[in-house]
A and B are shown apart, each in its own frame.
Chain A
Amino acid sequence: MNTVSPYILLSAILFSMGVIGFLTRRNAIMIFMSVELMLNSANLAFVAFAHQWGQLDGQMFVFFVMAVAAAEVAVGLALIVTVFRSKKSANVDDLHQLKG
């Protein structure tokens, strides 16, 4: 193949699915996995574009996205655990004290 367009299209599909997952799932862990899917699709786009431009920079970006994602995961899971402890639930619908 001499174009990366199919890869980009695939990444767009995955990104949209991540967004849908984020909005439709109620469980914080599932929502969080959807975020990972979104980031992962962005990574795919980066790698594809890096291939297209014949550069390494896109790949470098992916490296950092992964590292940041790892940090986010650590904090996010810690938060989920904390909330779970006090609410006995990982359901985001139960987070509705603050509104108006």
Chain B
Amino acid sequence: MSRELLGTLTWLAPLPPLLSFAVIVLFTNRYRQISSAIAVVAMLTSCVLSFVVFFNAVGIGNLGEDPIRGIAYSFIPTAGSTFNIGVAVDPLGATFMFMVPLACSLIFIYSTSYMASDPLYTRFFAFLSLFGGAMMGLVVSDNLLSLFVFWELMGFCSYALIGFFYRKPSAYKAAVKAFMTTRVGDMLLLLGIVYLYTQTGTLNFFDVLHNAKVLETLAATPAVLGLGISAAGLIAILIFGGTVGKSAQFPLHVWLPDAMEGPTPVSAMIHAATMVSAGIFLLLRFFPLLQVGGPDNTAFMVVGLIGAITALLGATIAVAQYDIKRVLAFSTISQLGFMVAAIGIGAYGAAVFHLLSHAFFKALLFMGSGSVIHGVEHGHEHVAHAHGDEHGNAEELDHDHGAETASAAPAFDPQDMRNMGGLRKRMPITFYTFLAGGLALAGFPFITAGFWSKDEILADAFHGLSTGSLISTIVFIVLAFSALLTAFYTARQISMTFLGEARTEAAANATESAPAMTFPLIVLAVFAIFFGFVNVPKDFPVLGALFGPAAGWLKSFISTQLVELQAFKEEAQVFNAIPLLTSLVVALGGLGLGWLVYGQKPLKAGQTDPVEKLGGLFTFLHNRWYFDELYRVIFIKPLQAIADNYSRVIDKGVIDWALEGLYKLGVGIAGALKEFDRVIITGGSDLIGNTVRSIGREGRELQSGQVQNYLLSALIAAVVLMVFFLVLAQ
């Protein structure tokens, strides 16, 4: 197929879902079946188009240097340069064009059954289509600006979908939290975009990232603000800020666990196919900017460290969760940390590989958990006939102590793993597919995709370690430990959910889900097992030879993408047994440990979870290291306080404000002094406190909220302004 035709197809690929959004919103929003059919068909069309592009792209030898380009149109003709928006497919984009539409299509199909009884069925599909379309658009964008547009569009969709059960207060809180948290990252990204543009005059990926000259200039330019790093480094770090937000890296990871307040297919979209992958995708795109600084440069260090911290953080928290989806959410955070850490040590190919395999098995796990929840809910309904809860509309018991849950006191939580058990017999398809996904997540050796991709990261980290790279050493150790935890909590989850005897009536009466839900599970299970074989290392004992020329295909395909830079040359790696052994030990060890604790003697109803024996550590982990509480104290409260106080200040006039500040300061000092008095001198007087307080009270009487108060403050400003002008004039 000619390149022009492929370019056109690339243009067309993101359009069907976007169009289906428009069509559903404008025309068919009253017809449930038609709407969902349109959405599914649109996504499948997009999938087919993408596959055509993908399989053709695979055949093009020099795709890395010469990507497929679509016709560009002029977006912002600025004075100096024109700003073109176009599409392009390079090896990185091509692999995403395989994974994204495939995963999306399966999620869409799954949703038709999962959401079947929801009253806002059509709205759900509209937003889901927009979400998928935006992700497709992001993947094919050839420049940072249109990428950012789709990026924000996705942010908005995630907001709308996480808050889909808007009657549930926790859902819209989660939606706002997701939007606000990711927006912090978005703004850093925007700064990065603007800075990149001022430095290079273009935002086109290929003009910047495939151009060694531009890259080296950027690396040689010192960054603004005298940070002591190069412009390339600063831009990379700012753009990484976007990734931190979108891909839920520490310290902006707090939104992702709450995001599972949305319907389960949305969680699958966010955790696998779209949102979080977009963040990693962006970072992968800008890998050359990181690379140009040489190994172990500041930007690499930042990325690697954040990734490692996140991997560990997510894995530890996941151990102490009861909610089936929440375990998966933290495991996503942890696995994203793996990918980011991989990028941080320069393991580009390994990161892509892990991202893709993770997308498949995590989508599988989420949809599997959705199937479980669905089944348990049905069981619950079966038991308590009268109850007609909406799907997923269950309150959470474990973290929301608000009044809203109190009203529905003995609410049954179909997502709590303590309410499950023994589902293996009730839901066989779900069990076996979930098992496949779980083993892939745990990195069960040789037969799962997760093993190969995780092993690849560890191997690269070990390679860096052996060359004395600091960050690689950290990453290797942290990731190995996290992988151990991962295997452990996976075993815990599978055991608690599927093995043993049912711990509640609901679980005992659970039923297998409909074919529309199990079909995608089966497809994804196949990928979760076999996808790993696309990238078996060439020099791997026995298997490497078995695959012959196909071994290490993904890595060699994807690496043509990168420009050869003086500063960074990846040497050919030799096979080393240590990382392989590490992978084997952590995966099998974690699974074995989990099996010992949970599998052998499954939990009985009412029995406490063995992890709770960890005591304080458990509480700490169960409460997610108290990050939410910390953020509330550090950011949200002060901001709210400033805002509230400021409006009071306006009311009173500026002088009063100053006096009140003085008063507060005085009270604060007085308080400190009083403490000092009490402890040291015992007794003493409150003279100072009283004096300042009375001054403040005097000031309060100013309260008038009058025009003249406004003007008084304006006059102060005018006087100050004059002083400035006159001083600066000298």
Contact = CB atoms under 8 A, between A and B. Distances in A.
B707 A100 contact: no
Contacts of B81: none
A42 to B, nearest CB: 15
Contact of A23 (B647, B651, B715): B715
A95 B705 CA distance: 9
B715 A19 contact: yes
Contacts of A99: 650-651, 705
A95 B708 CA distance: 11
Given A19-B715, A23-B715, A96 B708 contact: no
Interface in B687-711: 704-708, 711
A99 B708 CA distance: 13
Contacts of B711: 22-23
B651 to A, nearest CB: 5
A78 B33 CA distance: 65
Question: Among the interface residues A26, A99, A100, which one has the most CB atoms of the partner chain B within 10 A?
Answer: A99
B334 to A, nearest CB: 46
B567 interface: no
* Interface size of A as a range: 10 to 19
A100 B708 contact: no
B712 interface: yes
B650 A96 contact: no
Contacts of B704: 93, 96
Contacts of A19: 715
Contacts of A26: 708
A79 interface: no
A95 B707 contact: yes
A92 interface: yes
Given A23-B712, A23-B715, A92 B707 contact: yes
Contacts of A23: 708, 711-712, 715
Contacts of B651: 99-100
Contacts of B650: 99-100
B31 to A, nearest CB: 47
Nearest to A100: B647
A38 to B, nearest CB: 12
Interface residues of B, number: 11
A44 to B, nearest CB: 20
B413 to A, nearest CB: 43
A99 to B, nearest CB: 4
Interface string A68-95: 0000000000000000000000001101
Given A23-B711, A23-B715, A92 B706 contact: yes
Contacts of B715: 19, 23
B706 A95 contact: yes
B324 to A, nearest CB: 47
Nearest to B712: A23
A96 B712 contact: no
A28 to B, nearest CB: 9
Interface string B637-658: 0000000000100110000000
Interface string A6-47: 000000000000010011101000010000000000000000
Nearest to B708: A23
A78 B650 CA distance: 29
A95 B706 CA distance: 7
A92 B715 CA distance: 18
A40 to B, nearest CB: 19
Contacts of A93: 704, 706
A11 to B, nearest CB: 16
Nearest to A98: B705
Contacts of B706: 92-93, 95-96
Nearest to B705: A99
A33 B550 CA distance: 91
Contacts of A92: 706-708
A4 to B, nearest CB: 21
A15 to B, nearest CB: 12
A77 B157 CA distance: 55
Contacts of A95: 706-707
A93 B704 CA distance: 7
A31 B707 CA distance: 11
A90 B264 CA distance: 64
Question: Among the interface residues A24, A26, A93, which one has the most CB atoms of the partner chain B within 10 A?
Answer: A93
A48 to B, nearest CB: 20
A96 B651 CA distance: 9
A22 B715 CA distance: 11
A5 B715 CA distance: 25
B458 to A, nearest CB: 59
Across the A-B interface, the 6 shortest Cβ-Cβ residue pairs:
A99-B705, A96-B705, A99-B651, A23-B708, A100-B647, A92-B707
23 contacts: A19-B715, A22-B708, A22-B711, A23-B708, A23-B711, A23-B712, A23-B715, A26-B708, A31-B708, A92-B706, A92-B707, A93-B704, A93-B706, A95-B706, A95-B707, A96-B704, A96-B705, A96-B706, A99-B651, A99-B705, A100-B647, A100-B650, A100-B651
Given A26-B708, A93-B704, 10 more contacts: A23-B712, A92-B708, A93-B706, A95-B706, A95-B707, A96-B705, A99-B651, A99-B705, A100-B650, A100-B651
